[in-house]
Amino acid sequence: MRSDEPCFGTWLSSGSPVVAELAAQCGFDWLLLDMEHGCLPEADLLSNLRATGGSDAMIVVRVPTHEAGLIGRALDWGADAIMVPHVETAGEARELVRAMRYPPEGARGYSRSVRAYGYGLSAPDTRVGPLLFAQIESAKGIANVDAIASVSGVHVLFIGPADLKLSLSTEPAAPSYAEALDSVIRASKTHGVHAGILIRNRNDTETTLGQGFTRIAVDSDISILRAGFVSCRPKW
């Protein structure tokens, strides 16, 4: 996930550690634990992180807000990366980086006894910061995407398709959705960060890679389960 190679993940919204554990064994490069729209409360985050702990997949936690305390707890409990919704300005991005980094680059509180460092049994490398996925989900975010991408510590500009389409539809002077995607991809290439997006059909993978996206989430556990249940529903 720190390389330039395309990486593929999936969305975990059920909040189930069993589903998370299963997904972690299926060869994804990364997994997204969703605390914003998913059924994952903070109280269950630790059990989901434990369930995925034996895999090689990078674990990304999507927090519901920009609150620094919650970001710090997710990292202390073992998240490898944080996804933050509705990032609209470079100033917001800088504050998120500060919440994720130790001094002098940031303001994150430091403890060697947290789960991320083996409860004190492993030596942390405070020079390597966790990855930040900044979600671009609004017309304002698109307008400022170049400045957001320029912030040191932002690793991925991640499109939130549903929110972005809704926001663009409410702004008369906003660009089209396709133009907005192009803006994100250009900004990512200019500043050497990755562009990411959630797609619902794995058959769209090649097209999405061709557009310039390199951090791609394919479908979600809820969608996969729904399709499975519907496919085996009795027809009589």
What fold does the segment set 7-231 form as a domain?
Answer: TIM Barrel (3.20.20)
For 119-155, the pLDDT digits (tens) are 999 987 777 789 999 999 999 999 999 999 999 999 9
- 37, 155, 191, 194: the catalytic one is 37
Q: pLDDT band at 173, cuts 50/70/90?
A: very high
User: Which residues lie below 8 Å from residue 153, measured CB to CB, with a gap of 6+?
Assistant: 93, 94, 96, 97, 100, 101, 105, 129, 132
- Residue ranges of the domains in the chain? 7-231
Dihedral sign of CA atoms 59, 64, 68, 69 in order: negative
For 39-63, the pLDDT digits (tens) are 999 999 999 999 999 899 999 999 9
Distances (CA, A) of 100 to 129, 185, 214: 7, 24, 23
Q: pLDDT band at 205, cuts 50/70/90?
A: very high
Contact 160, 110 (CB under 8 A): no
User: Which residues lie below 8 Å from residue 41, measured CB to CB, with a gap of 6+?
Assistant: 15, 35
**Model's pTM, two decimal places?**
0.95
Alpha helices in 34-77 (DSSP H): 42-51, 68-76
Residue 138, pLDDT score? 97
- Would you call 37 a catalytic residue per the annotation? yes
Residue 142 CA to residue 123 CA, distance in Å, equals 40
Residue 88, pLDDT score? 98
| Coil, strand or helix at 76 | helix
Take residue 90 and report the two structure tokens written for it.
């470079």
